[in-house]
């Protein structure tokens, strides 16, 4: 392996909250987000808010979390129109706080 300490940490885990605005409700946005998160091996949650946005939390290896952030910013579900994606409360975590990525009602 290359550099013992770096490998043991892996690339580190992060947790980040997100909120996506635009036409993101009623277009299977949560289902697609869950599918993409699972494909990337991430955990967390997603839900619709009362003010028409979709919000949640992502946790996992930094590089994978970045991929989902990019997906939330630009792609989303086929019928969605994302106007903006805000990310907040990013922090390094020692261990994942969720077992899977779930859709919260």
Helix (H, G, I), strand (E, B) or coil at 89: strand
Q: Note whether 18 and 85 are within 8 A (CB).
A: yes
Q: Domains in the chain, ordered, with CATH?
A: 24-103 (3.30.70.100)
Total-model pTM: 0.88
pLDDT tens, position by position, 11-70 = 699 999 999 999 999 999 999 999 999 999 999 999 999 999 999 999 999 999 999 999
Please state the φ and ψ torsions of residue 42, each to the nearest 5 degrees: -100, 160
pLDDT tens-digit profile of 66-90? Answer: 999 999 999 999 999 999 999 999 9
Task: Using DSSP, state whether 82 is helix, strand or coil.
Answer: strand
Residues involved in catalysis:
30, 48
């Amino acid at each position: 392996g290359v550099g013992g300490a770096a490998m043991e940490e892996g690339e580190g885990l992060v947790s980040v909250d997100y909120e996506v605005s635009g036409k993101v409700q009623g277009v299977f946005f949560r289902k697609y987000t869950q599918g993409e998160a699972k494909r990337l091996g991430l955990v967390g949650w997603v839900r619709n808010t009362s003010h028409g946005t979709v919000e949640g939390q992502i946790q996992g290896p930094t590089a994978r979390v970045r991929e989902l952030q990019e997906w939330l910013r630009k792609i989303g579900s086929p019928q969605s129109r994302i106007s903006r994606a805000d990310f907040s409360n990013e922090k390094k975590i020692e261990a994942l706080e969720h077992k899977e990525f779930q859709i919260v009602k």
